[in-house]
Chain A
Amino acid sequence: MSDLLRREPHIINCGLSLLAEAAREQAARVTQVDWAPPMAGTEDVLVPVLSDPRRIAANALAVERMLAVRAHLVDVAPAGATLGLQPGEFLHAGPPVSWDRAAGPLRGALMGAAVFEGLAGSPEAAAELAGRGAFTLAPCHSLSAVGPMAGVISPSMWLFVLEDPATGQRTYCSLNEGLGKVLRYGAFSPDVLERLGWMSGVLGPLLATAVRRHGPVDVTAILAQMVQMGDEAHNRNRSGTLMLLRDLLPSMVESGGVPGDIARAAAFIGGNDHFFLNLSMPACKLALDAARDIPGATMVVAMARNGTDFGIQVSGTGDEWFAAPALTPQGLFLGGYGPDDASPDIGDSAITETAGLGGFAMAAAPAIGALVGGTAADALATTRRMYEITLAEHPLYRVPALEFRGTPAGIDVTLVARTGILPQINTGMAGKVAGTGQVGAGLVTPPAAVFPAALRSLARHTSHNQPAARV
């Protein structure tokens, strides 16, 4: 029986404000909901999706699985052997895209990677080969991998290998090259390629030895500490990078490697505030992969961009991508670059926001808000706003400024469609001309259209004409 007559009356008013006023005049406690109509074109599909009898239990299971994952760094190894990637095959960020439609930064990264792999003598020759269809492109996500910005992975590159010890599931990500003129931002100059060579020849093997010697590194535990140290694990990874170095340096020193190599590796890692991003991302993917393929679940399991399109994948709709043209971030620019130099949004790194970090943990990293002239109060407001569109609060990622409340995690497509609130993403900005490199950093959202598209597909996947039920 309902407790309606036994509770202290608290009216939650969703709709006409005059009804709230009348209740307040009678001294009732009233909370007003700031309601607005759902995204255009979703009212008809919201009903079948919300009344899908599987939804509530399916989302609960998706959340449970996501939160149960512990990501351990267990190995560092070449992509060719690890993923079975053959010469001429390249992975890239975001949903599938052809060379013809590829954005400048992705083209630049593919050109540089082809030269790096010895498939072409120059970036120009590589572009010509790519234009003739000589290369095979596939999303990183299709092979359990993620890549920041262009996200290009070729067989000779070394990967971090992350594993959930409870399930044995694995995810992969390349090693971070640093900021500025780097391949992932579309640069392919000789110094870029030289650095890649050193990373595959020295850094990768050294890290592999250190990780094996040290044993698994608990990346999830480092992420939990980062959030309490001013990092949101997307655009700011300073404390995470230093904690990783703290954990691995003794084993690197003991690895028997050349002291000069170890010194350069330690300086490279410690001097690159973003080094840990390439561990944060596969840790987030590992958590979200656990929530995939649950029929009826409306939780987003991937957000990814290729510089042309922004795509999302949803638990209840398998590997289907819902994509729309990517937006261009707003933010601050390096040197003489300006808004006209920036490529549309690119990279798999929005996997961090999908898992409750990045823009969703902005309240933990108010310094990031300054990228768009925001205040610490704005950073708090951003995280608070994300609770409106998420299914859970992450029990490990706790924000000091919010009284150690867990970050908002697990984006619900139905909540995005109902509230019109779009996920907040912190991101770097690549130059739109191939070969440029990084031009800035800022904030961006997905194009709104991907959420109604996902909702329509969820509606097609519902099991219907049964009353909604709890499991």
Chain B
Amino acid sequence: MSAEHVEARPGAYADSVTLMRVSADVRQAGGVQAALIAMATELNLGLLPEMGFRPPPDAGPNHLLVAVRASDDAALAGALAVVDTALSARALSAIGGASLAQAPPHTTAAAVRAGGGGLALISVPGPYAFAEAMDALEAGCDVMIFSDNVPVEQEIMLKDFAAQDDLIVMGPDCGTAIVGGVGLGFSHTLAAGPVGIVAASGTGAQQVLCLLDYAGAGVSAALGVGGRDLSAAIGGRSARAALAALDADPGTELIVLVSKPPAAEVAAGLRDFAASLATPVLFALIGPGEPDLTAATETAISALGLPVPAWPRWPGEAPDAAHAGFLRGLFAGGTLCDEAMVIASDRLGPIRSNIPLRPELSLAPREPVLGATGAGHAMIDFGDDELTIGRAHPMIDQSLRLERLAAEAADPAVSVVLLDVVLGHGAHPDPAAELGPAIAAALASGGVAVVVSLVGAASDPQGLGRQAAALQAAGADVFASNAAAARFACDLIEGAR
């Protein structure tokens, strides 16, 4: 006989990351069978019936949902105490104890009045991002929108408004930036230097930054512009602003523009624009016939007069048990997924995906087991908008990928699984601690080899060497270059044929 508590608390708000931590704490309390602590959004309310709870009446997005089922009343009371403690600790730290202290600002404009202008970093849920970004622009701030799920017409309005006031909108869905030596979002702390990055791609920029770091080339700034910026709809609005800002920056000697596969006419327009600048611009645009990110980075390193190093590789400790079969890419980084698809499709043939290189290769991301559908080679971007609604990015929350890794390893049609692991600020504090055992379990099933591209800088808090060693010890072949990892995965499959 179990005990249950479902409640919608009005006027209580905490961000989704905090609440996910609270939910996790509660689930670990003794006797708890199910728990959801979340804002009562439509999505979260929809989760309740699946978990066997009845949604409370009149609950809306301004209510905090507390739903717990435990083995008995005592366990339930204990779990609810955990909820209250977790939430009140946060409340106490926010209050700070001083009654005369100024209350924190509730809008970006209020923050600017109190503390001066700057760069607004917006990561509220997508439907609310426009209001906050507009507020920041009106207050004279440049804006980085980390949020995803922002409609394209809102992106255009924000970027056009910003252009009139000589401001930059980085994003939406801008995961990575370095400004004034500070890494923002998913980022790294790197030595200052001559290379400026413009990136319509978060993990693509991280790959280039980490390779530059290994080669000893410093970075002046990395300006993300949002994954859609080089699409036909957006037309490179922010890329132009970012290129112009870096061109005028005396610390920038060379610009690298990184993008997910762009619209051809937008890429052509940006090449013309780049040619008009005083600072040389290298293009790293993912796509057939284009240099991969590693090759483009090598060109930049050479242009700076530095030697191109041999990129690190940590070979698996066990011999690879690859057999003929299909390749599965399970990516946290969309651009890394794109790059791997371009490389692998050249070698192995068509790759199906939820972010396909061509529309006819489209694959629903939640299709249960790819092999069973006869999908052939396939790669999934777990960072795509559709898979991040209501949950943290896969660079923070690896649970979907871990589940999928186990499922793919159990599929006899699959022979190689290719994963990316991205380190740095904002990412999971110790991804190898979760992935390592999952990889070891996958390898123990005997049917697959696991290849990992590990994107990290020497100063990353997770410890690049420690992460590589843990993944290697689990049996994976680990590469610092995503392109090299993709090629090695192809080698394994071709070699087994």
Q: Which residues of A come within 8 Å of B, CB atoms?
A: 1-20, 22-23, 25-29, 31-40, 43, 46-47, 50-51, 56, 375, 377, 380-381, 384-385, 387-388, 414-415, 418-421, 467-470
6 contacts across the A-B interface (CB closer than 8 A): A10-B117, A12-B108, A15-B147, A16-B123, A22-B183, A37-B39
Cβ distance A14 to chain B, nearest Cβ, rounded Å: 5
- Which residue of the partner chain B has the closest CB to A32? B104
**Of A2, A38, A56, which contacts B167 at CB under 8 A?**
A2
**Of A9, A37, A384, which contacts B180 at CB under 8 A?**
A9
**Given A2-B168, A51-B134, A388-B106 in contact, is the A31-B123 Cβ separation under 8 Å?**
no
Complex: how many Å from CA A419 to CA B132? 11
Cβ distance B249 to chain A, nearest Cβ, rounded Å: 5
**Given A4-B119, A12-B112, A34-B94 in contact, is the A419-B180 Cβ separation under 8 Å?**
no
Decide: A37 and B13 in contact? CB cutoff 8 A: yes
Decide: B108 and A14 in contact? CB cutoff 8 A: yes
Chain A residues near B100 (CB-CB < 8 A): 377, 380
- Which residue of the partner chain B has the closest CB to A466? B157
- Which residue of the partner chain A has the closest CB to B137? A468
Cβ distance B173 to chain A, nearest Cβ, rounded Å: 13
Asked if B309 is at the interface of the complex by the 8 Å CB criterion, the answer is no
Chain A residues near B102 (CB-CB < 8 A): 384
**Of A9, A25, A43, which contacts B128 at CB under 8 A?**
A43
Complex: how many Å from CA A268 to CA B137? 54
Cβ distance A175 to chain B, nearest Cβ, rounded Å: 40
Cβ distance A414 to chain B, nearest Cβ, rounded Å: 8
Chain B residues near A34 (CB-CB < 8 A): 94, 103-106
Chain B residues near A28 (CB-CB < 8 A): 180, 182
Apart from A5-B221, A12-B108, A26-B181, what 13 extra A-B contacts exist at CB < 8 Å?
A1-B248, A3-B142, A8-B180, A12-B120, A14-B108, A16-B15, A16-B123, A22-B425, A31-B111, A50-B131, A56-B138, A377-B99, A467-B160
| Per-residue A-contact encoding for B231-255, CB less than 8 Å = 1, 0 else | 0000000000100111011000000
| Per-residue A-contact encoding for B175-215, CB less than 8 Å = 1, 0 else | 00001111111010100000000000000000000000000
Decide: A468 and B157 in contact? CB cutoff 8 A: yes
**Of A9, A11, A470, which contacts B165 at CB under 8 A?**
A470
Chain A residues near B106 (CB-CB < 8 A): 33-36, 388, 418-419, 421
- Which residue of the partner chain A has the closest CB to B221? A5
**Of B124, B245, B246, B426, which contacts A14 at CB under 8 A?**
B124
**Given A1-B248, A17-B18, A37-B39 in contact, is the A468-B119 Cβ separation under 8 Å?**
no
**Given A43-B128, A381-B103 in contact, is the A31-B114 Cβ separation under 8 Å?**
yes
Decide: A23 and B182 in contact? CB cutoff 8 A: yes
Decide: A35 and B157 in contact? CB cutoff 8 A: no
* Tally of chain B residues near chain A (CB < 8 A): 77
Chain B residues near A4 (CB-CB < 8 A): 119, 142, 167-168, 179, 223, 245
Asked if B121 is at the interface of the complex by the 8 Å CB criterion, the answer is yes
Decide: A12 and B118 in contact? CB cutoff 8 A: yes
**Of B124, B136, B161, B249, which contacts A467 at CB under 8 A?**
B161
User: Which residues of chain B from 104 to 153 have a CB within 8 Å of any chain A CB?
Assistant: 104-108, 110-125, 127-128, 130-132, 134-136, 138, 141-142, 146-147
Q: Considering residues B115, B156, B165, which has the most beta carbons from chain A within 10 angstroms of its beta carbon? A: B115
Complex: how many Å from CA A25 to CA B245? 26
Complex: how many Å from CA A25 to CA B188? 12
**Of A2, A8, A385, A415, which contacts B166 at CB under 8 A?**
A2
Complex: how many Å from CA A418 to CA B136? 13
Chain A residues near B39 (CB-CB < 8 A): 37
Asked if B62 is at the interface of the complex by the 8 Å CB criterion, the answer is yes
| Per-residue A-contact encoding for B1-42, CB less than 8 Å = 1, 0 else | 000000000000101011000000000000000000001000
Chain B residues near A22 (CB-CB < 8 A): 183-184, 187, 425-426
**Of B103, B118, B130, B189, which contacts A50 at CB under 8 A?**
B130
Cβ distance B419 to chain A, nearest Cβ, rounded Å: 23
- Which residue of the partner chain A has the closest CB to B167? A2
Q: Considering residues A7, A29, A32, which has the most beta carbons from chain B within 10 angstroms of its beta carbon? A: A7
Chain B residues near A15 (CB-CB < 8 A): 15, 121-124, 132, 146-147
Asked if B60 is at the interface of the complex by the 8 Å CB criterion, the answer is yes
What are the 7 closest A-B residue pairs judged by CB atoms, nearest first?
A15-B123, A10-B118, A9-B180, A34-B104, A22-B425, A467-B160, A28-B182
- Which residue of the partner chain A has the closest CB to B177? A4
- Chain B binding surface SS class: mixed
Cβ distance A376 to chain B, nearest Cβ, rounded Å: 9
Complex: how many Å from CA A384 to CA B111? 12
Cβ distance A463 to chain B, nearest Cβ, rounded Å: 14
Complex: how many Å from CA A23 to CA B184? 6
Complex: how many Å from CA A385 to CA B60? 25
Cβ distance B235 to chain A, nearest Cβ, rounded Å: 13
Asked if B61 is at the interface of the complex by the 8 Å CB criterion, the answer is yes
Decide: B184 and A11 in contact? CB cutoff 8 A: yes
Chain A residues near B187 (CB-CB < 8 A): 22
Asked if B154 is at the interface of the complex by the 8 Å CB criterion, the answer is yes
Complex: how many Å from CA A17 to CA B94? 11
Cβ distance A369 to chain B, nearest Cβ, rounded Å: 13
- Which residue of the partner chain B has the closest CB to A36? B13
Complex: how many Å from CA A286 to CA B346? 74
Asked if B164 is at the interface of the complex by the 8 Å CB criterion, the answer is yes
Decide: B146 and A16 in contact? CB cutoff 8 A: yes
Chain A residues near B221 (CB-CB < 8 A): 5
**Of A8, A33, A468, which contacts B134 at CB under 8 A?**
A468
Decide: B128 and A387 in contact? CB cutoff 8 A: no
Decide: A384 and B103 in contact? CB cutoff 8 A: yes
**Given A11-B184, A385-B103, A421-B106 in contact, is the A33-B245 Cβ separation under 8 Å?**
no
Chain B residues near A5 (CB-CB < 8 A): 179-180, 220-221, 245-246, 248-249
Complex: how many Å from CA A432 to CA B113? 43
Chain A residues near B120 (CB-CB < 8 A): 12, 14
Complex: how many Å from CA A380 to CA B15? 28
Complex: how many Å from CA A28 to CA B123? 18
- Which residue of the partner chain A has the closest CB to B426? A22
- Which residue of the partner chain B has the closest CB to A470? B164
User: Which residues of chain B from 366 to 405 have a CB within 8 Å of any chain A CB?
Assistant: none
Complex: how many Å from CA A50 to CA B125? 17
Complex: how many Å from CA A380 to CA B102? 9
Chain B residues near A467 (CB-CB < 8 A): 156-157, 160-161
Decide: A1 and B183 in contact? CB cutoff 8 A: no
Cβ distance B149 to chain A, nearest Cβ, rounded Å: 12
Q: Considering residues A4, A32, A469, which has the most beta carbons from chain B within 10 angstroms of its beta carbon? A: A4
Complex: how many Å from CA A1 to CA B242? 9
- Which residue of the partner chain B has the closest CB to A6? B249
- Which residue of the partner chain B has the closest CB to A44? B127
**Given A23-B184, A381-B103 in contact, is the A418-B123 Cβ separation under 8 Å?**
no
Chain B residues near A8 (CB-CB < 8 A): 118, 180
Chain B residues near A51 (CB-CB < 8 A): 130, 134, 154, 157
Complex: how many Å from CA A470 to CA B161? 8
Complex: how many Å from CA A450 to CA B229? 39
Decide: B128 and A37 in contact? CB cutoff 8 A: yes
Chain A residues near B13 (CB-CB < 8 A): 36-37
Complex: how many Å from CA A14 to CA B112? 12
Decide: B245 and A50 in contact? CB cutoff 8 A: no
Decide: A50 and B168 in contact? CB cutoff 8 A: no
Decide: B425 and A12 in contact? CB cutoff 8 A: no
Decide: A9 and B123 in contact? CB cutoff 8 A: no
Complex: how many Å from CA A32 to CA B128? 17
